[in-house]
């Protein structure tokens, strides 16, 4: 836990700021697990320069009568060195009774009963923008009389005065004295990854995510060796498998390692799409990708291109090649399969109603199992429950929130404080449920580190205890706490996105294969409803989907054209048509003249090349010598679906100029021929006179 350099009032304000951020995050739906979403207090307006992080025991816990050690980390955010001081740790002898008293202690530093000093040490000087940790030993006799419970813990730094720091620095935390027997705990860990393009992860993205320092590698190593239950987005293995032999080697190895893990697992909806939103939208069946076929390149699945599959090699489909020699391509079910997944489990947002649970049964079958947060239910937190006859698993909201924040915290000292807080929440959960199994679920986060995730899971994970153990326990009867508050706005937004998708379906008939357009669009829509999106992120995702749809519908059109001069009675008029799509498109250009004296080929079919403008030539014939008229232009698909907005172009007919030009040209030819004839005659007469003169001279010379 952290505190500022001012008196307890400023520290309390910081805690209240953090709580406000947590509440806002929960309202926005960032805590899909039902726990508290990661939050950071905004201290930009404060003058805090030194903070303390306090933790004690093994991640905030200690066995009754045992010695332990407290760690006090001094973080100096000032511009000068912080001199040595004295760190004193005190513990309240009266245990905190419940979650309310825990919140009161952490928010306002208020706790009943006296505090006793349990240890004190001199701290070392701390450089600017650095931190240092002091360990304080707490002997067993100091804690020997403490019964199992959650005890308030306080650390105070004194004597470390600078120009920026002239007050004692105080930090609050808790120490959990564990009971002899505690409730077994199972941890849910979501494995998700969001592509920049909104559909499947690209080869480059997979290379980054599954590299040695990649986010997917971090989560895989973080769960290895634990009993965590994995909730896997099937879009991740699908992104690898569609690449066939072109899949990056690190990604193939990552998928092999995932399949080989012994952890229980289940599949999330594709793209982590939210079933609650789909139920609120009134969908009769859950959304799924239309098809992944457009992403398959047959050349990557030939026998020469792909290695012989092994039992753990899910990159290619081992189906034999067809007799005609063409490669066998994996179907959608093979591409999205999560090896060893338990069927019928949904982990949606928790703003559900009883009607939504009925809908989930139609989606997944009568035996559907829905994971909800305890914040959405009333009653004890016992993991396995029944709501209106529907099976649910209830995660501990408070513990899940603290653990989610810890798993996303890269600062080790701050993480220890969050783990202590989680231990306190779990103590209260175990006490309230009489050691019945407890389920915690981490929030969706694509960027956790290996160390943070492994340490967080290891702090609470009961080795060998998984969903099977929770389901084996008797189911408690639970009710929904937010029956009348189920959020419907997301469902309305989903309805609008699907309505736009239907319009895009008509538009896509300009393609040889409409799924080239529709498949990525469906995946983009599903990702826009992802469980982990808060209110702001959801609104941005919906806006991106709608903008992308508008851009696609406007990608093929007829640009405005200037007046066309028609100087002949018969000609081919060229009309420019723009195609900004990455695929060739097939269109029909319909031309309608405003004057029947101009005959036009009414429909002209053309194929437009991708990312280019193409000129479509339309034959016309003018029955009028001159005049002004307009041609109406309309693009449509081969099936008759209008494409873009109609356009019109003005045509100036000057067909008589053709006759005048022919007359002038003919006259010019006659003139040239006449001039040539005259010139020839004159030349011949001149040549004859010259010959006659030469003959006369010759005769005279001979007479002489």
Query: For residues 295 and 319, is the Cβ–Cβ distance under 8 A?
Result: no
pLDDT surpasses 70 at 306: no
Q: Which pLDDT value is given to residue 329?
A: 92
Could you please report the per-residue DSSP string of 424-467? HHHHHHHHHTTT--EEEEPPP-S---HHHHHHHHHHH--TT--H
- What would the mean pLDDT of 483-508 be, rounded to a whole number? 85
Give the pairing of strands 626-636 and 612-622.
Answer: unpaired
CA distance 189 to 412: 20
- What would the mean pLDDT of 12-24 be, rounded to a whole number? 34
Tokens of 423: 């231990």
Query: For residues 651 and 631, is the Cβ–Cβ distance under 8 A?
Result: yes
Give the pairing of strands 229-232 and 265-267.
Answer: parallel
Between residues 347 and 478, the one the model is more confident about: 347
Q: Which pLDDT value is given to residue 323?
A: 54
pLDDT surpasses 70 at 11: no
Q: Which pLDDT value is given to residue 702?
A: 73
pLDDT > 70 in the chain, percent: 83
pLDDT surpasses 80 at 332: yes
Given pLDDT bands bounded at 50, 70 and 90, which one contains residue 132?
Answer: very high
CA distance 630 to 536: 49
Given pLDDT bands bounded at 50, 70 and 90, which one contains residue 324?
Answer: low
Query: For residues 89 and 56, is the Cβ–Cβ distance under 8 A?
Result: yes
Q: Which pLDDT value is given to residue 382?
A: 64
Give the pairing of strands 369-373 and 229-232.
Answer: unpaired
Tell me the CA distances in angstroms from 624 to 282, 458, 668, one per residue in order: 60, 89, 26
What number of residues does the chain have? Answer: 704
- Mean of all residue pLDDT scores within the chain: 84
Between residues 46 and 498, the one the model is more confident about: 498
Query: For residues 227 and 463, is the Cβ–Cβ distance under 8 A?
Result: yes
- What would the mean pLDDT of 669-679 be, rounded to a whole number? 78
For residue 329, the surrounding DSSP H or E stretch is none
Highest mean pLDDT among 236-250, 426-440, 562-576: 236-250
Tell me the CA distances in angstroms from 618 to 570, 585, 603, 621, 633, one per residue in order: 11, 18, 8, 10, 11
Given pLDDT bands bounded at 50, 70 and 90, which one contains residue 164?
Answer: low
Q: Which pLDDT value is given to residue 625?
A: 57
Residues 363-390 have pLDDT tens digits of 999 889 999 998 888 866 667 888 988 9
For residue 137, the surrounding DSSP H or E stretch is strand 130-138
pLDDT surpasses 60 at 694: yes
Q: Which pLDDT value is given to residue 377?
A: 85
Tokens of 266: 């289940």
Give the pairing of strands 50-56 and 68-76.
Answer: antiparallel
Neighbours of 326 (CB within 10 A): 11
pLDDT surpasses 90 at 286: yes
Residue 611 per-residue DSSP state: T
- Tell me the pTM: 0.81
Give every CB contact of residue 504 below 8 A, 6+ residues apart in sequence. Answer: 517, 518, 521, 549, 552, 553
- What would the mean pLDDT of 379-404 be, rounded to a whole number? 86
Picking from 65-79, 281-295, 319-333, which range would have the lowest pLDDT averaged per residue? 319-333
Could you please report the per-residue DSSP string of 195-237? -TTSSSPPHHHHHHHTSTT-HHHHHHHHHTTS-PEEEE-THHH
Tokens of 275: 């079933």
pLDDT surpasses 90 at 9: no
pLDDT surpasses 70 at 15: no
Tell me the CA distances in angstroms from 113 to 110, 116, 117, 544, 671, one per residue in order: 10, 10, 13, 55, 125
The position carrying tokens 């290996």 is 450
Q: Which pLDDT value is given to residue 8?
A: 37
pLDDT surpasses 60 at 595: yes
- What would the mean pLDDT of 651-673 be, rounded to a whole number? 65
pLDDT surpasses 90 at 41: no
3-state secondary structure of 159: coil
Annotated domain spans of the chain: 8-177, 185-343+395-466, 489-553, 556-654, 658-704
Q: Which pLDDT value is given to residue 603?
A: 93
CATH architecture, domain 556-654:
Sandwich (2.60)
Q: Which pLDDT value is given to residue 598?
A: 82
- What would the mean pLDDT of 85-108 be, rounded to a whole number? 90
Cα–chain center distance at 139: 50
- What would the mean pLDDT of 477-503 be, rounded to a whole number? 81
Picking from 161-170, 413-422, 511-520, which range would have the lowest pLDDT averaged per residue? 161-170
Beta-bridge partners for 621: 570, 599
Give the pairing of strands 149-158 and 86-92.
Answer: antiparallel
- Comparing CA positions, the residue from 212, 199, 198 lying closest to residue 251 is 212
pLDDT surpasses 70 at 244: yes
Ramachandran quadrant class, 598 (left: phi over 0; alpha: psi -120 to 50; beta: rest):
beta
The position carrying tokens 């080795």 is 463
**CATH class name, domain 8-177:** mainly beta
Q: Which pLDDT value is given to residue 606?
A: 95
- Burial grade of 125 (CB within 10 A; 0-12, 13-18, 19 or more): middle
Could you please report the per-residue DSSP string of 277-298? HHHHTT-SS----S-SGGG--G
Highest mean pLDDT among 167-181, 352-366, 567-581: 352-366
Query: For residues 216 and 257, is the Cβ–Cβ distance under 8 A?
Result: no
pLDDT surpasses 50 at 628: yes
- Comparing CA positions, the residue from 107, 127, 111, 102 lying closest to residue 41 is 107
CA distance 2 to 7: 13
pLDDT surpasses 80 at 534: yes
Q: Which pLDDT value is given to residue 613?
A: 94
Query: For residues 564 and 604, is the Cβ–Cβ distance under 8 A?
Result: no
Given pLDDT bands bounded at 50, 70 and 90, which one contains residue 123?
Answer: very high
Query: For residues 349 and 274, is the Cβ–Cβ distance under 8 A?
Result: yes
Neighbours of 484 (CB within 10 A): 7
Q: Which pLDDT value is given to residue 453?
A: 95
Q: Which pLDDT value is given to residue 443?
A: 95
The two domains 8-177 and 556-654 share their CATH topology (first three levels equal): yes
Picking from 435-444, 606-615, 680-689, which range would have the lowest pLDDT averaged per residue? 680-689
Given pLDDT bands bounded at 50, 70 and 90, which one contains residue 32?
Answer: very low
pLDDT > 90 in the chain, percent: 53
Q: Which pLDDT value is given to residue 38?
A: 33
Between residues 209 and 460, the one the model is more confident about: 209
Of the CA atoms within 13 Å of residue 27, those in its CB half-sphere come to 7
Question: Which sign, positive or negative, has the C-alpha torsion 505, 507, 513, 519?
Answer: negative
pLDDT surpasses 60 at 174: yes
Given pLDDT bands bounded at 50, 70 and 90, which one contains residue 173?
Answer: very high
């Amino acid at each position: 836990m952290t505190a500022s350099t001012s008196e307890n009032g400023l520290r309390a304000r910081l805690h209240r700021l953090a709580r406000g951020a947590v509440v806002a995050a929960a309202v926005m739906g960032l805590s899909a697990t039902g726990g508290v979403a990661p939050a950071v207090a905004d201290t930009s307006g404060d003058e805090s320069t030194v903070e303390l992080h306090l933790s004690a025991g093994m991640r905030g816990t200690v066995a009754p009568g045992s010695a332990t050690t407290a760690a006090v980390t001094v973080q100096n955010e000032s511009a000068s060195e912080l001199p040595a001081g004295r760190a004193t740790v005190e513990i309240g002898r009266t245990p905190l009774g419940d979650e309310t008293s825990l919140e009161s202690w952490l928010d306002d530093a208020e706790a009943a009963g006296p505090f006793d000093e349990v240890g004190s040490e001199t701290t070392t000087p701390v450089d600017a923008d650095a931190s240092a940790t002091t360990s304080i030993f707490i002997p067993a006799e100091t804690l020997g009389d403490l019964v199992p419970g959650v005890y308030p813990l306080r650390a105070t730094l004194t004597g470390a005065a600078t120009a920026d720091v002239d007050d004692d620095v105080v930090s609050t935390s808790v120490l959990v004295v564990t009971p002899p027997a505690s409730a077994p705990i199972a941890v849910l860990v979501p494995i998700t990854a969001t592509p920049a393009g909104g559909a499947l992860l690209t080869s480059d993205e997979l290379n980054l995510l599954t590299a040695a320092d990649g986010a997917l590698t971090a989560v895989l190593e973080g769960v290895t060796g634990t009993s965590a239950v994995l909730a896997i987005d099937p879009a991740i293995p699908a992104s690898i498998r569609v690449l066939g032999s072109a899949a990056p080697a690190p990604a193939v190895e990552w998928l092999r390692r995932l399949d080989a893990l012994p952890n229980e697992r289940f599949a999330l909806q594709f793209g982590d799409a939210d079933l609650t939103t789909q139920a609120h939208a009134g969908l009769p069946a859950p959304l799924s990708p239309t098809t992944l076929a457009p992403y398959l390149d047959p050349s990557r699945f030939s026998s020469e291109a792909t290695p012989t599959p092994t039992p753990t090699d899910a990159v290619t489909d081992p189906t034999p090649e067809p007799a005609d020699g063409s490669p066998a391509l994996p179907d959608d079910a093979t591409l999205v399969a999560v090896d060893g997944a338990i069927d019928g489990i949904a982990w949606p947002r928790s703003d559900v109603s009883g009607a939504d649970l009925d809908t989930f049964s139609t989606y997944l079958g009568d035996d559907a199992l829905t994971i909800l947060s305890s914040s959405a239910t009333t009653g004890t937190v016992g993991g396995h429950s029944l709501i209106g006859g529907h099976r649910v698993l209830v995660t501990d909201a408070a513990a899940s929130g603290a653990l989610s924040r810890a798993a996303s915290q890269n600062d080790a000292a701050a993480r220890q404080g969050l783990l202590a807080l989680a231990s306190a929440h779990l103590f209260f959960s175990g006490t309230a449920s009489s050691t019945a199994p407890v389920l915690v679920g981490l929030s969706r986060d694509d960027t956790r580190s290996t160390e943070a995730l492994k340490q967080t899971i290891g702090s609470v994970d009961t080795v060998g205890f998984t969903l099977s153990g929770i389901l084996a326990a008797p189911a408690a009867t639970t009710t929904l706490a937010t029956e009348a508050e189920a959020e419907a706005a997301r469902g309305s937004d989903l309805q609008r996105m699907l309505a736009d998708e239907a319009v895009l379906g008509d538009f896509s008939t300009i393609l040889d294969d409409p799924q080239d357009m529709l498949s990525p669009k469906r995946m983009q829509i599903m990702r826009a409803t992802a469980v982990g999106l808060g209110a702001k992120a959801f609104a941005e995702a919906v806006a991106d989907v709608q903008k992308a749809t508008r851009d696609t519908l406007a990608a093929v059109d007829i640009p405005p054209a200037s007046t066309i001069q028609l100087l002949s009675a018969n000609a081919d008029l060229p009309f420019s048509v723009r195609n900004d799509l990455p695929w060739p498109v097939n269109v029909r250009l319909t031309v309608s003249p405003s004057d029947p004296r101009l005959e036009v080929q009414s429909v002209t079919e053309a194929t437009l090349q991708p990312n280019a403008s193409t000129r479509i030539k339309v034959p016309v014939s003018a029955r009028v010598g001159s005049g002004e008229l307009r041609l109406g232009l309309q693009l449509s698909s081969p099936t008759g679906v209008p494409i873009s907005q109609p356009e019109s172009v003005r045509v100036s007919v000057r067909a008589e100029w053709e006759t005048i030009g022919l007359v002038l040209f003919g006259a010019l030819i006659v003139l040239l021929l006449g001039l040539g004839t005259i010139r020839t005659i004159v030349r011949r007469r001149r040549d004859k006179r010259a010959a006659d003169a030469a003959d006369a001279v010759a005769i005279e010379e001979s007479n002489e």
